[in-house]
Amino acid sequence: MHCYDCAQAGRHDRDGIGACTRCGLFACADHSRVVRTTVQRPIGVIPMTSALPSRRLVCGTCRTAEAA
Ligand SMILES: [Zn+2]
Ligand SMILES: [Zn+2]
């Protein structure tokens, strides 16, 4: 899978490193960010936040939208 943003710019040689967890499009390392995120685990009925962070990939467009 090639990076969507690179393809939009006319470049079709960059492989995506993963799919954006928000929009689902593939993005390369230059057009995406891996951000840390917490994981909620329900212990019985009480939501617990995991002590270890998880991660997710977001593309530049979604990252900008999240920060706006
Ligand atoms: Zn790219
Ligand atoms: Zn996205």
Per-residue pLDDT tens over the stretch 9-62 = 999 988 999 999 999 999 999 999 999 999 998 888 888 998 899 999 999 999
57 touches 33 (CB < 8 A): yes
C-alpha 16 – ligand 1 centre gap (Å) = 7
Number of structural domains (the chain) is 1
Position 54 scores a pLDDT of: 94
Which ligand neighbours the alpha carbon of 16 most closely? 1
Q: Name the H helices within the chain.
A: 4-8, 60-67
C-alpha 29 – ligand 1 centre gap (Å) = 7
- Domain encompassing residue 56: 4-67
18 touches 25 (CB < 8 A): no
